[in-house]
Amino acid sequence: MEQTTIAAIATAPGESGIGIVRMSGPESLATLQRVFRTTRGREKKSFAARHLYLGYVVDEKEQMLDQVLVTYMPGPNSYTGEDVVEINSHGGALITREILALLLRLGVRLAEPGEFTQRAFLNGKLDLMQAEAVIDLIQAKSKTALEQAGRLLRGELSERVLAIREQIMGLLATAAASIDFPEHDIPEITSRRMLEGLEEAIHQVELLLSTSFAGRVLREGLQVAIVGRPNVGKSSLLNALVGKERAIVTDIAGTTRDVIEEYFSVAGIPIRLLDTAGLRETEDPVERIGVSLAQQTMQEADLVLVVIDQSRPLEREDLTTLAAVKEQRRFVVLNKRDLPLGLSAADEERLAQERVFRVAAISGEGLDELRAAIADLVLQGILQPDSPFVANVRQEQLLREALGSLRAAEQTVASGWPLDMVQIDLQAAADRLGEMVGLKASPGLAQEIFSRFCIGK
The site for ligand GDP (CB under 6 A) is made up of 228, 230-236, 249-251, 256, 335-336, 338-339, 360-362
Q: To the nearest 10°, the Cα dihedral for 114, 116, 121, 122?
A: 110
User: Closest separation between CB of residue 228 and ligand GDP, Å?
Assistant: 6
Nearer of residues 124 and 364 to ligand GDP, judged by Cβ: 364
- What value, to the nearest 5°, has the Cα angle with vertex 350 and ends 347 and 356? 95
Task: Give the C-alpha separation, 81 to 131, whole Å.
Answer: 14
The DSSP symbol for 249 reads P
The DSSP symbol for 223 reads E
Nearer of residues 149 and 306 to ligand GDP, judged by Cβ: 306
Nearer of residues 153 and 305 to ligand GDP, judged by Cβ: 305
Nearer of residues 139 and 292 to ligand GDP, judged by Cβ: 292
Nearer of residues 98 and 338 to ligand GDP, judged by Cβ: 338
Nearer of residues 307 and 351 to ligand GDP, judged by Cβ: 307
Nearer of residues 337 and 457 to ligand GDP, judged by Cβ: 337
Nearer of residues 361 and 413 to ligand GDP, judged by Cβ: 361
- Please return the burial class of 439, using the count of CB atoms within 10 Å of its CB with bins 0-12, 13-18 and 19+: middle
User: Closest separation between CB of residue 223 and ligand GDP, Å?
Assistant: 18
Task: Give the C-alpha separation, 150 to 138, whole Å.
Answer: 11
User: Closest separation between CB of residue 24 and ligand GDP, Å?
Assistant: 53
- Helix runs in 358-392, H state only: 367-382
User: Closest separation between CB of residue 323 and ligand GDP, Å?
Assistant: 19
Q: What is the largest CA-CA distance in the chain?
A: 90
Q: To the nearest 10°, the Cα dihedral for 214, 215, 217, 219?
A: 160
Nearer of residues 131 and 359 to ligand GDP, judged by Cβ: 359
CA proximity to 404, closest of 433, 425, 434, 430 = 425
CA–chain centroid gap for 174, Å, is 37
Helices 143-153 and 212-220, axial angle in degrees (round to 10): 120
Task: Give the C-alpha separation, 86 to 84, whole Å.
Answer: 7
- Helix runs in 53-127, H state only: 93-105, 115-122
User: Closest separation between CB of residue 232 and ligand GDP, Å?
Assistant: 5
Task: Give the C-alpha separation, 208 to 196, whole Å.
Answer: 19
Nearer of residues 33 and 295 to ligand GDP, judged by Cβ: 295
Based on C-alpha coordinates, what's the Rg of the chain? Answer: 29
- Helix runs in 140-252, H state only: 143-153, 156-177, 188-210, 212-220, 234-242
Task: Give the C-alpha separation, 234 to 306, whole Å.
Answer: 9
User: Closest separation between CB of residue 353 and ligand GDP, Å?
Assistant: 23
- Helix runs in 17-142, H state only: 28-35, 93-105, 115-122, 128-139
Query: Burial code of 152-165, b = ≥16 C-beta within 10 A, e = fewer?
Result: bbebbbbebbbebb
